[in-house]
Amino acid sequence: MTRGGQPLGNDRRTRIGTRVRRLGRLLLAAAAAAIALTVTWHALVRWLPYPDDCAQPPPLATWLCDQRGQPLLALTADDGHWHLPIDRSALNPWLIAAVVAVEDRRFRDHAGVDWTALVAATAQNAWARRVVRGGSTLTMQVQRLRQPRPRTLATKLIESLRAAQLERVLDKDAILAEWLDRAPFGGNLRGAEAASRWWFALPSRDLTLAQAALLAGLPQSPERLRPDRHPDAARARRDHVLRRLGATGAISAAALTQALAEPLTLARQPLPQNALPAALPALVACAREHAGGERRTSLDSAACRTVQALLDDQLAAVPGVAGAAVVLDTVSGALHATASRGRDGLDLARCRRSTGSALKPFLYAAAFADGWCSPDTVVDDRPRAWGAYVPANFDRRFRGRMTAATALAESRNLPAIDLLDRLGPVRAAEVLAACGLDAAARAVPRAGLSLAVGGAEASAWELAGAFATLARGGRRRAPRIDAGEAGPGTSALPERACRQVLAALADPDRTAACCRAAVDLEPAWKTGTSSGPRDAWCLAATPRLTVAVWLGDPTGGEVPALSGGGVAAPLALGVLAALDRGGPSFPPPPAALSAAAALPVPPPRLTLTSPLDGARLLRDDDQPAIGQRLCLTAHGGDGPRWWFVDGDLVGRATADQPLWWPLAAGAHVVRVVDALGATAQARVVVR
């Protein structure tokens, strides 16, 4: 047959040929386009710069633990999330297998983009006209977590490109670890480590198969699957993950059956902010200084509880009194334990209070270091006056001549004030500052000679650090709470002088009289009581631990029952007895270099002690005359004394003998003269 003079077969062949040529051209164009796209893709992957800011890790929460790993304080990251870094050297194998099984089965086989899954997801979403399948690989999800964008087709292309770039610089394990570190797990939980601690109170490396499957399923829809709010949905998702693991052969049938039967048990615990209330201020300071990540502190939780119990027992015996205790590692200066009880919100361990006699060891150490005084030097504990300053001892008694070591151990005030007078304010301030007592050093000009008996202030934290400096032989290391290596420190005092002070303060009989349980530790300890009394102190140390204890009224009120030796020393020594495991005692001091046998004692200045200048006295004529007398006494001077009232001689008396003057109405001038002609006088009015 023909059509228009042409055979019909030729026409068909022509049309077929045309179609074949068109198809060929289309195939060639498609191939060229595919090649061009492939070349362009690889060129972009290879040469397009990867944005540097994308690789920045997310901010970390702060998680502080004690030296045994017990949580003490947790603070969210700057962005408000709980995020802890996962230990990439100990990733849980169940968690890795579960994430791969449920999120990206071909993760080990693709180069960042699973084109088969992506094309299938695109077709399925187009058919359903909504997103029903993601198609993103774990690497693409990491890129999305690094740089969140609106979920569009352009975003998907960008994530695919960046995922391919990530695969060129990161291995598969690193990508998995980053996904586990960044993925959301409900609420403000970011990362598997934070989620594991939050939901199971376990590090992620210790999760069981069922627990790992639960976590692996949460990022699909963190809020909808939150196990505390939607336990049924969370369990269903967990079981789905477990079955996927079984289908891929990652777990055995028996393991699958056992994991499916495991109940959904959460071990969510409250934040540890109240674990050690007394340590909270120090922990917050540490968190500010070392923000981000998990950090071990030097604190021992069990030791803190022991010290708190001992403090509470002691405070129960002295009603209305607050207290604080600080325990340092003597060698490193790290905070080992702390306790406090008193006004809420007040860090009593860092509150500065009058030191009483607690600064005396540092003054004696300075004198020993300078060589003009030694432990065997004879000092004088007799009444003296420095101008108008007429100090006394705590027991209102005087012991006369004694060695410097005895005067320090018995905390005699007059020898310490004389020592400070000879030492001078510049040297005293220098030594206190070198030992870390900066506030006390600044107070030297104002306090004057009263510095030796409580004229300056310091905190338990500062005094513990300073006494630890003596205990480690004069090497100062600032008290700290982090568990890092101790630095070399600075030299504050010669070791010889420190050993001499410690030996004077480590008398076993003195210790046994206060706390027999601490005798075997051979501690060196010093007490202090401020005027009032308002504050009671005790500093105690062994070569292993140093303790500072303060007891008192935070408002500064007087507490008659307070004394360093009566209430603070038993507590400080009891803390050492409870915490110190024993060991070598302080080495004996070397022989003293100073040959001074006695400190020269200048004649004390003659001073009236009764009556005081300006005194106003009352005479009652209805009372017997013997009761209407005034005792005339003076301090210092030389030899016997002659007493005059209004220029008339009343009598002569020795230094230890008082004289009585019958009161007479009117204004009077009382004057005393010693054997050297020194005089002192006072004006009084008798009504």
What fold is seen in the domain 314-579? Beta-lactamase (3.40.710)
Amino acid at 200: F
State CA 190 to chain mean position distance: 27
Per the DSSP assignment, residues forming a β-bridge with 528 are: 537
The yes-or-no verdict on residue 4 having pLDDT over 60 is no
pLDDT at site 53 = 65
DSSP 261-310: HS---------GGGSSGGGHHHHHHHHHHT-SEEEEBS--HHHHHHHHHH
CATH 2.60.40.10 describes domain 607-686 = yes
**Lowest pLDDT segment from 211-220, 255-264, 326-335, 377-386:** 377-386
Q: What is the mean pLDDT of residues 220-242?
A: 92
Residue 378's pLDDT band, with cuts at 50, 70 and 90, is very high
User: Which comes out higher in pLDDT, residue 325 or 21?
Assistant: 325
pLDDT at site 595 = 43
Checking DSSP bridges between strand 353-354 and strand 457-458, what pairing results, if any? antiparallel
Q: What is the mean pLDDT of residues 590-615?
A: 70
| Cα–Cα distance, 129 to 136 (Å, whole number) | 18
| Cα–Cα distance, 327 to 1 (Å, whole number) | 115
The yes-or-no verdict on residue 326 having pLDDT over 80 is yes
The yes-or-no verdict on residue 11 having pLDDT over 90 is no
| Cα–Cα distance, 564 to 554 (Å, whole number) | 16
The yes-or-no verdict on residue 405 having pLDDT over 90 is yes
**Lowest pLDDT segment from 104-118, 396-410, 462-476:** 104-118
pLDDT at site 86 = 84
pLDDT per residue as tens digits for the range 261-271: 999 888 776 77
**Lowest pLDDT segment from 151-155, 361-365, 547-551, 668-672:** 151-155
**Lowest pLDDT segment from 465-474, 542-551, 618-627:** 618-627
**Lowest pLDDT segment from 52-56, 58-62, 393-397, 432-436:** 52-56
User: Which comes out higher in pLDDT, residue 565 or 620?
Assistant: 565
Strand segments, DSSP code E, in 110-224 are 189-190
pLDDT at site 77 = 86
Q: Is the pTM of this model over 0.75?
A: no
Q: What separation in angstroms does the CA of 53 have from each of 143, 489, 519?
A: 12, 40, 62
pLDDT at site 260 = 93
For residue 404 the two structure tokens come to: 């410097």
DSSP 337-368: EEEEESSTT--GGG--EE-TTTTHHHHHHHHH
Do residues 447 and 351 lie in contact, with contact meaning Cβ atoms separated by under 8 Å?
no
User: Which is nearest to 655 in space by CA: 602, 612, 606?
Assistant: 606
The yes-or-no verdict on residue 603 having pLDDT over 70 is no
The yes-or-no verdict on residue 545 having pLDDT over 70 is yes
Do residues 362 and 526 lie in contact, with contact meaning Cβ atoms separated by under 8 Å?
no
pLDDT at site 384 = 80
User: Which comes out higher in pLDDT, residue 320 or 584?
Assistant: 584
Q: Within 10 A of 248 (CB to CB), how many other CB atoms are there?
A: 13
The dotted CATH code for 58-261 is 1.10.3810.10
User: Which is nearest to 213 in space by CA: 224, 230, 227, 223?
Assistant: 227
Tell me the pLDDT of the chain averaged across its residues: 86
Per-residue H/E/C for 614-637 = CCEECCCCCCCHHHCEEEEEEECC
CB burial of 268-287 (b: ≥16 within 10 Å; e: otherwise) equals: eeeebeebbebbbbbbbebb
| Cα–Cα distance, 39 to 20 (Å, whole number) | 28
The yes-or-no verdict on residue 565 having pLDDT over 70 is yes
pLDDT at site 566 = 93
**Lowest pLDDT segment from 245-249, 291-295, 327-331, 435-439:** 291-295
Q: What is the mean pLDDT of residues 176-184?
A: 90
Alpha carbons within 13 A on the beta-carbon side of 11: 8
pLDDT at site 10 = 66
With a pLDDT cut of 70, the percent of the chain lying above it is 90
Residues in the chain: 687
* CB neighbour list of residue 5: distance below 8 Å, 6 or more residues apart: none
With a pLDDT cut of 90, the percent of the chain lying above it is 43
Checking DSSP bridges between strand 679-686 and strand 616-617, what pairing results, if any? parallel
Domain map (residue ranges) of the chain:
2-48, 58-261, 314-579, 607-686
Q: Within 10 A of 467 (CB to CB), how many other CB atoms are there?
A: 30
Strand segments, DSSP code E, in 177-234 are 189-190
